[in-house]
Amino acid sequence: MYYQKSGKVLIINSDRETHKELLSLFASEGYQVEISEGLTNGLQKLKNIKFDCLIIDVELPEMKGYQALPIVRTVDPKIDVIMTAARNTPELEARVREQDIFYYYIKSFDREELRLAVHDVFKKLGKIKGVRRMNEEAKILIIDDDPAFVEATTAILKSGSYKVEAAYDKEEAMEKIKKEEPDLILLDVMMQRLDDGFTICYKLKHDPKLKKIPVLMITGVTKKTGFKFSPQSDGEYLEADDFVDKPIKAADLLKRVEKLLPR
């Protein structure tokens, strides 16, 4: 999926290595990016330039980032703010979320999460316009009995403009597959019964009406047992189109989904 992007991002962060990484990341996305090492210089930039998104770190030379936000709001009350932190604690997160921010990003997480958060800022502002949205109407069904995993995966897929449904057990899954006719299925291996994922996949791939639906098998088996599935070696008895281990990186998931979807 391709996008035309416009808009300005201000990054306030005292770490120069982070400057290079984020400048490279967001410049390659087509955003106009300004860097400031501290709050004082950052506030001056905010006064002189109209930014759409502010990425500000918790650790600033002058004060904590969450303490700086009320000052930022006096300069630009409406700017969307993404706050970053090297490490999180319940106390820190509570202080950060008191400040009405758009997103809270922990640096040890996948950089893709930060990229998607900035993407969502500009999407909300209407500054990302689709040039080619061939998968916009694609329907994806997630079949997994873990609500937290379903919620996180749904957010990732919706960031790619996919329509997402969920089923939490084998019976609900088969009902939704026949009713919704999804374009792609994300299927967990182990659910209420250890063989639920195998059973669903077998039924799909041996049903003349359903066998063309691509199946991306999601498994925590490797982490628990050390056994790793492969479409090449295990395709005879588990006919999924692709396998991916939990936990899934957002960028990897989106790449695999786009590859499997019918063109």
pTM (predicted TM-score): 0.52
In sign, the C-alpha dihedral spanning 71, 73, 79, 84 is: positive
Q: Residue 5 — φ and ψ, nearest 5°?
A: -125, 145
Two domains, one topology: 2-130 and 134-260: yes
Architecture of domain 2-130: 3-Layer(aba) Sandwich (3.40)
Check residue 195 and give its pLDDT: 75
Give the whole-angstrom CA distance, residue 205 versus residue 81: 46
Give the whole-angstrom CA distance, residue 122 versus residue 33: 14
**pLDDT one-digit tens code per residue, 195-211:** 788 889 988 988 888 98
The larger pLDDT score, comparing residue 25 to residue 67, is at: 67
Q: Which amino acid is at 17?
A: E
What is the domain partition of the chain in residue ranges? 2-130, 134-260
**pLDDT one-digit tens code per residue, 29-53:** 778 889 999 999 999 999 999 999 9
Q: Which of 25-29, 78-82, 109-113, 210-214 has the lowest mean pLDDT?
A: 25-29
Mean pLDDT of 65-78: 94
Check residue 2 and give its pLDDT: 36
Q: Which of 67-76, 143-152, 168-177, 239-248 has the lowest mean pLDDT?
A: 239-248
If you ran DSSP here, which 8-state letter would residue 215 be given?
A: E
| Fold exhibited by the domain 134-260 | Rossmann fold (3.40.50)
**pLDDT one-digit tens code per residue, 152-199:** 888 888 877 789 999 998 899 999 998 888 999 999 887 777 778 888
Most confident of 12-16, 21-25, 106-110: 12-16
Check residue 119 and give its pLDDT: 86
Check residue 177 and give its pLDDT: 93
Check residue 53 and give its pLDDT: 94
Beta-sheet strand order (sheet of 184-188): 163-167, 139-143, 184-188, 215-219, 242-245
